[in-house]
Amino acid sequence: MIHSLFLINSSGDIFLEKHWKSVVSRSVCDYFFEAQERATEAENVPPVIPTPHHYLLSVYRHKIFFVAVIQTEVPPLFVIEFLHRVVDTFQDYFGVCSEPVIKDNVVVVYEVLEEMLDNGFPLATESNILKELIKPPTILRTVVNTITGRPGGDKEFLKTDWVTPRGSGAVSPLLLERVFSCVYERSTNVGDQLPTGQLSVVPWRRTGVKYTNNEAYFDVIEEIDAIIDKSGSTITAEIQGVIDACVKLTGMPDLTLSFMNPRLLDDVSFHPCVRFKRWESERILSFIPPDGNFRLLSYHVSAQNLVAIPVYVKHSISFRDSSALGRFEITVGPKQTMGKTIEGVLVSSQMPKGVLNMSLTPSQGTHTFDPVTKMLSWDVGKINPQKLPSLKGTMSLQAGAPKPDENPTVNLQFKIQQLAISGLKVNRLDMYGEKYKPFKGIKYMTKAGKFQVRT
Amino acid sequence: MASNSLAYNEQAGAGETAELGQEAAATMSPSGAFGLFSSDLKKNEDLKQMLESNKDSAKLDAMKRIVGMIAKGRNASELFPAVVKNVASKNIEIKKLVYVYLVRYAEEQQDLALLSISTFQRALKDPNQLIRASALRVLSSIRVPIIVPIMMLAIKDASADLSPYVRKNAAHAIQKLYSLDPEQKEMLIEVIEKLLKDKSTLVAGSVVMAFEEVCPERIDLIHKNYRKLCNLLVDVEEWGQVVIIHMLTRYARTQFVSPWKEDGGAEDSEKNFYESDDEQREGTERRKKPYAMDPDHRLLIRNTKPLLQSRNAAVVMAVAQLYWHISPKSEAGVISKSLVRLLRSNREVQYIVLQNIATMSIQRKGMFEPYLKSFYVRSTDPTMIKTLKLEILTNLANEANVSTLLREFQTYVRSQDKQFAAATIQTVGRCASSISEVSDSCLSGLVCLLSSRDEVVVAESVVVIKKLLQMRPAQHGEIIKHMAKLLDSITVPVARASILWLIGENCERVPKIAPDVLRKMAKSFTSEDDLVKLQILNLGAKLYLTNSKQTKLLTQYILNLGKYDQNYDIRDRTRFIRQLIVPNEKSGALSKYAKKIFLAQKPAPLLESPFKDRDHFQLGTLSHTLNTKAAGYLELSNWPEVAPDPSVRNVEVVELQTKEWTPAGKAKKENPAKKFYSESEEEEDSSDSSSESESESGSGSEEEADSSEDSSASSPSEQEGESASESEGRSKRTAKKSWKTRAKSDSEDEEKENEKSKSSDSSSAESSSAEESSSDAESESESDSGPDSRKVTKEKEGRPKQARSTLPKDVSLLDLDDFNSVSTPVALPTPVLSPSLRADLEGLNLSTTSSVINVSSPVFVPMKTHVLLHRMSGKGLAAHYFFPRQPCIFGAKMVSVQITLNNTTDQKIENIHVGEKKLPAGMQMHAFSPVDSLEPEGSVTVSMGIDFCDSTQTASFQLCTKDDCFSVNIQPPVGELLLPVAMSEKDFKKEQGMLTGMNETSALIVATPQDFTPSVILQKVVNVANVGAVPSGQDHLHRFAARTVHSGSLMLVTVELKEGSTAQLIINTEKTVIGSVLLRELKPVLSQG
């Protein structure tokens, strides 16, 4: 299926290549560059590009193009979804997925890719399993690798005399040695224990998990996607919710999570660990969780009347035909917030090309305008209902140019803590199969997703 | 493909050189490359040294640097000899990196790569399944044609491996081998066929992938596995699901009749089908009308539905296309919600999903209409997403929603993204042409746009208006006049050309303006674009024909200009027009019709979606996305008029059950902790049973699965009981089947026979209560065992199955208490997988070798007894055991053990029974039935069965009396883990040939010649091991054969007499551990005297 993978950075350098079948020359990427040129913007590069002998399927994330080369018919989503999974895995391994990080960890990256695909067909994509096969770089190991200047500390190595002279006065050689010796056990990237998870019937969970503090946290995060009309009426609004979990429980716990109002969730997708039949019959989430962080569930509430819009934006943006000045005024205020404060408000807007500069004064927060990209952004912070934040001022327009057809749309970001705007509430979490009592926590949050106000 | 990749390789070589050149000397010329080579050589020299050092850390460091080079695309091939030496490194990380290197460069350095092969071959026999798997992976990834036979052999072996993980890798290797050497196809198909029967969820996805790659046309291979695949689907890993669903879609289109004919009645027919299932099954003839869906068709549709909730977009899309292509139209609606959900995903996913929705929305607007607003465009969407959304919005437009849409379009038209604005205008045009109610308002809206400031918008509007006006040749003089005015300001050629064409076409309606326009155009002719020039010529010609008085001179002027134009197209056109319209002596005939030619009624253009013609591609495929046939695209066939015989699937279900269901029951008891496993089995069970007895299918089966699932979480014992009872029903059938099999030796006939037996059995088995059937099964099998043991030699085929059939109930009941104590599947990976595949293996072995290799009766039964419990420690109860070497009646995989209990006290000992068992994982034990009382000095012999899993591990359990419990152990001598088989010398040699290499162990024996007489050897060997003698044609060769009780692996013993008083003892077996233990035990026996 997937023949080869090329990683291309924003300046068009191929900085990593991996082949699963015969080697495909990197010159095949020329077709990609062509398409990239045509598309002008990175995100307009078509995800599927046919070339005479191959097909290039790509995803663009973190300013990197992940280009997969395939040769025969394959469901394109299969490849795309897999590439996204690769990026997720890198992120999971290294914290961030960027060119320098990938270059620094090229060996781990290679090892991981080797495990993820066999002959182009996905083999192990569960992060729990991968982490057993290939250990992610830990801080300690990175430190050791940096100090020793070598990947993988060697015990013999320590006994040589270089530690003492180089180990600066602050760090005693003894301590260093102790650190090394405990790190030594984990100095290799490759797990010496062969993973059992892949073979077990619970392939997403690694075995032999042990924690002293057993904790399970669930974050219910909802994002509001909305388009608000010029007049302030809602054109479309929907809620995209996810439940992200961080489960650190010893052994093989079997959890059930129930909701106060499960009827809300009529369109859901699950992590493979969730027992679907149980959900169908009882509307209860029953699962053996993977170890660590994972997305348990995502859901979609689209019935428009259920979606409360927590903010409003008052705007008056006008360009005058005759003068080279335009007026700009925006006020943000809370609407239906269930008594919670709106935080982290960020207003951004792509101004028309004709706008040369803006001179604005915010009543709170800071604002910036980039005259090159014409991007206005205003970091408002918290909304105080007593004193609504506003941004006022003038725009200077290109002299002689016709006035722009359209007023810019305003994109809004905000957060509301401790509120799930759909009203979803977790009822209880129970654990079976293990004896100890875990610490449980649940957090709600509402955020703006793609929240646009047309002006 | 091969030549193509070769070409690329060459380029790659060149590219690499160039790059190296850049790096070293910044010169790209070959001479520069030379300079760099020396420097590169030096650099690699230290890597070589590091690789040769004896410190692992140095080697590792070197390997990491080399992998770094590979990742950057630099050539590291000259390090091959140094790297390949480390292939056998003990350090697992070095090993892995060497593998990476090997896979990358082996193709280029084939000869050297061969050095590494033996390492992999050795690793292929490693007891650790993961090592076997990774060895197979690398071995098959080395694209060296010479090793094709080795690969073939390795794949064959691995496909019969105990571990499903290894078998999964075997499935992957099939594709690799096929791409390396397509000539192996036939052999590979055999392996695929074998693996398709595999019931492990781990294997299913990979083998279907291999099937799709190697032999997608062999749809007949799927028949017997169809139901299994449907039932397993939910538990297969997500990538496998995608592949299986696509394959099943194709399958369904060839095997079922179209559900679309009677769309309205689909709901009804569904009900009919549920109600009438029993009749349907019994009265084999399916009713032709009204349309009733094939139960298998329904099964597929039902079992894929839960996958719409998958987190994996590819799975959701796969299910969506399955519903689109094979479900009744009324049911396809369920997919729209899930597809719309995917729109929240990444840009690339959106792109593909929107494309597919676009195709669907053309054919069935209703499906996506409720989600209209989800397709509204956001200003932050990338342009390609915007245009796709627009496309869908247009497809969804109808009388009811068009006004809302047009309002939305107004916003889009003013978008800063002009490309998108232009697309919107086209969209408006399409709306206007398809929905007549709004065409006037659309037109006026478009005319308004003509006064827009943006040229692209105006131009696009003009083009669209032109098309609209052409479609509606009513009076639109005003608009045309307005557009004529625009000619002064518009510069976009397409728009200008469009206006000119419009005026020309309607020149009779605007008699005053047209000549004036021509006059203006004549002035600017030379500076116009070619496109515009052509239209000026057209306009001129048309005016000349209609209004020659005013325009004759003008036209001639233009024709003259055109005659000397730089563009040959325009010169051509000029000549043509001149000949046609200007009357002269030569052109008489045609010029009469000039007016008809130029001013003919022109058909209105059809404004349609670019996605109109895409529906002949299967949705969700690459070909659909590209709208061209991609390499390897498999057409979706049309529904057959008459459904092919549905019984092809039925038949094999019985076959499957005999192989599968009994072990399924076993899997449960063997791994009591594996709730998930058993759960999936359970689901499978219930849903499969529903497919047989449709009376409860539909919601019934789901409830059943539900309840069993619930119980698995809360009270495992309940589930256990249920599963046991369920397998009971089956075991009965199996038992019957085995009777039939016995009657018919021909295996071909057997299948038909099964079908019959099944159809008669299923109803009765299903209807009788679980208890009844279980007792039935037990008694039946008990009675069976009688004749069996008498005719062991002949009835090898029937017996194991039937014996197994009794097993599930017994053991699962026994193990109930264990169920809770072991709560994690942490332990031992091997046993986890073994049950299923053990069954497979056995099945395979049976099918492949049954004709020649039969279990025979033991040659000799040593009466040697072992002490189980000494009377001193047993407070007067003494127990001895010995191995009767009879096939065990409790289970095919068990070794029978006879225990003689003696009461040495002067009181009665009451209630002697087996207490708590402490068995190693995987082991099974069937306890003897409790002895109520044992008189003083009395003795009683009881028999029990122990499945030792082909290991010499001790089975510990407690022997309890009324008052006491004594811990006792049974450790089997390795020779007792075998069952003798009878086979011909030829077969022996054949089998031996397949078990060479690591499967062979041998030792040299020294003894006196009289010890080497045939009878002595026979006596000695059978004393130690339960093997059967194989007739030998050569005097110096003595052969013995057996198979292991548990897995049925062959164990071949050869004693080859040499000159002098030595002999070679050779043991060939897959079970290398047992083989070597046996060797160790035989050696002293043979060499003593």
Is residue A428 predicted with pLDDT exceeding 50? Answer: yes
Is residue B141 predicted with pLDDT exceeding 80? Answer: yes
| Same domain as A380, residue A407 | yes
| Same domain as A413, residue A331 | yes
| A196 assigned to some structural domain | no
Which residues in chain A are closer than 8 Å to B234, comparing Cβ atoms? 276
Helices first, then strands: H and E counts in chain A? 10, 23
Q: Is the pLDDT higher at A9 or at B755?
A: A9
Predicted confidence at residue A145, as pLDDT, reads: 56
Q: In whole angstroms, what is the distance from residue B930 CA to residue B913 CA?
A: 4
Q: How confident is the model at residue B604 (pLDDT cuts 50, 70, 90)?
A: low
Which residues in chain B are closer than 8 Å to A189, comparing Cβ atoms? 93
Instruction: Tell me which of A105, A133, A161 is where a domain ends.
Output: A133
Q: In whole angstroms, what is the distance from residue B467 CA to residue B470 CA?
A: 5
Residue A64 belongs to what domain range? 2-133
Instruction: Tell me which of A111, A133, A155 is where a domain ends.
Output: A133
> A213-227, A295-309, B545-559, B792-806 — which is least confidently predicted?
B792-806
| Same domain as A427, residue A280 | yes
Q: How confident is the model at residue A80 (pLDDT cuts 50, 70, 90)?
A: very high
Contact: A190, B92; criterion CB under 8 Å:
yes
A307, A388 Cβ separation under 8 angstroms:
no
Predicted confidence at residue B475, as pLDDT, reads: 60
Size of interface A-B (CB pairs under 8 A): 325
| Same domain as A438, residue A301 | yes
Nearest-10 Cα torsion for B927, B933, B936, B939: -40
| Same domain as A332, residue A283 | no
| Same domain as A74, residue A19 | yes
Predicted confidence at residue B912, as pLDDT, reads: 82
Nearest C-alpha in B relative to A114 = B100
Nearest C-alpha in B relative to A155 = B57
| Interface-testing mutation among A121, A154, A271, with chain B (most B C-beta atoms within 10 A) | A121
Report cis status (omega within 30 of 0) of the bond before B605. no
B623, B630 Cβ separation under 8 angstroms:
yes
Instruction: Tell me which of A133, A150, A181 is where a domain ends.
Output: A133
Q: Is the pLDDT higher at B555 or at B286?
A: B555
Contact: A192, B92; criterion CB under 8 Å:
yes
Chain B from 837 to 876: CB within 8 A of any A CB: none
Tell me if residue A271 falls in helix, strand or coil: coil
> A236-240, B58-62, B883-887 — which is least confidently predicted?
B883-887
Burial class (CB in 10 A: 0-12, 13-18, 19+), B739: middle
Contact: B309, A268; criterion CB under 8 Å:
yes
| A170 assigned to some structural domain | no
| Same domain as A431, residue A394 | no
| Same domain as A14, residue A129 | yes
Predicted confidence at residue B882, as pLDDT, reads: 82
- How many distinct structural domains can be found in chain A? 3
What does B967-1005 look like in DSSP terms, one character per residue? EEEE---GGGGEEEEE--HHHHHHHHHHS-GGGEEEEEE
> B121-135, B644-658, B706-720, B994-1008 — which is least confidently predicted?
B706-720
| A177 assigned to some structural domain | no
Share of chain B above pLDDT 70, in %: 72
pLDDT tens digits, residue range B315-350? Answer: 999 999 999 988 888 888 888 888 988 888 888 999
Q: How confident is the model at residue A278 (pLDDT cuts 50, 70, 90)?
A: confident
Q: In whole angstroms, what is the distance from residue B773 CA to residue B937 CA?
A: 41
| Same domain as A27, residue A78 | yes
Share of chain B above pLDDT 90, in %: 3
Question: Minimal CA–CA distance to A328: which of A410, A212, A236?
Answer: A410
Predicted confidence at residue A222, as pLDDT, reads: 92
Is residue B656 predicted with pLDDT exceeding 50? Answer: no
Predicted confidence at residue A339, as pLDDT, reads: 81
Average pLDDT over residues A203-232: 86
> A23-27, A181-185, A345-349 — which is least confidently predicted?
A181-185
Which range is most confident: A159-168, B415-424, B850-859?
B415-424
A378: domain CATH number?
2.60.40.1170
Contact: A194, B631; criterion CB under 8 Å:
no
Q: How confident is the model at residue B146 (pLDDT cuts 50, 70, 90)?
A: confident
Average per-residue pLDDT in chain B? Answer: 72
Average per-residue pLDDT in chain A? Answer: 81
| Same domain as A268, residue A400 | no
Q: How confident is the model at residue A379 (pLDDT cuts 50, 70, 90)?
A: very high
Question: Minimal CA–CA distance to A253: which of B445, B902, B824, B949?
Answer: B824
Q: How confident is the model at residue A212 (pLDDT cuts 50, 70, 90)?
A: confident
Predicted confidence at residue B848, as pLDDT, reads: 37
| A103 assigned to some structural domain | yes
| Same domain as A434, residue A409 | no
Which residues in chain B are closer than 8 Å to A145, comparing Cβ atoms? none
**Is the full-model pTM beyond 0.80?**
no
| A439 assigned to some structural domain | yes
A122: domain CATH number?
3.30.450.60
| A210 assigned to some structural domain | no
Is residue B761 predicted with pLDDT exceeding 80? Answer: no
Which residues in chain B are closer than 8 Å to A70, comparing Cβ atoms? 622
Contacts from B644-650 at CB under 8 Å and sequence distance 24+?
A: B644/B254, B644/B255, B646/B255, B646/B286, B646/B294, B646/B296, B647/B284, B647/B755, B648/B220, B648/B223, B648/B224, B649/B223, B649/B224, B649/B226, B649/B227, B649/B296, B650/B755, B650/B758
Tell me if residue B607 falls in helix, strand or coil: coil
| A199 assigned to some structural domain | no
Is residue B697 predicted with pLDDT exceeding 50? Answer: no
Is residue A66 predicted with pLDDT exceeding 90? Answer: yes
Average pLDDT over residues A444-455: 89
Q: How confident is the model at residue A199 (pLDDT cuts 50, 70, 90)?
A: low
Which residues in chain A are closer than 8 Å to B825, comparing Cβ atoms? 200-202, 207, 252
Question: Minimal CA–CA distance to B514: which of B493, B545, B469, B559?
Answer: B545
pLDDT tens digits, residue range A384-425? Answer: 888 889 999 888 887 766 677 677 888 999 999 988 888 888
Q: In whole angstroms, what is the distance from residue A159 CA to residue A277 CA?
A: 59
Q: In whole angstroms, what is the distance from residue B1087 CA to residue B1011 CA?
A: 8
Is residue A452 predicted with pLDDT exceeding 80? Answer: yes
Nearest C-alpha in A relative to B90 = A192
| DSSP E strands, A10-127 | 14-19, 48-50, 55-61, 64-70, 117-118, 121-122
| A204 assigned to some structural domain | no
pLDDT tens digits, residue range B88-137? Answer: 787 878 888 888 888 888 888 888 888 888 888 888 888 888 788 888 88
Is residue A174 predicted with pLDDT exceeding 80? Answer: no
Predicted confidence at residue B41, as pLDDT, reads: 52
Is residue B682 predicted with pLDDT exceeding 50? Answer: no
Predicted confidence at residue A242, as pLDDT, reads: 92
Predicted confidence at residue A347, as pLDDT, reads: 92
Which residues in chain A are closer than 8 Å to B634, comparing Cβ atoms? 73
Nearest C-alpha in A relative to B136 = A118
| Same domain as A336, residue A413 | yes
Is residue B630 predicted with pLDDT exceeding 60? Answer: yes
Predicted confidence at residue B1042, as pLDDT, reads: 85
pLDDT tens digits, residue range A320-341? Answer: 766 678 888 989 988 877 788 8
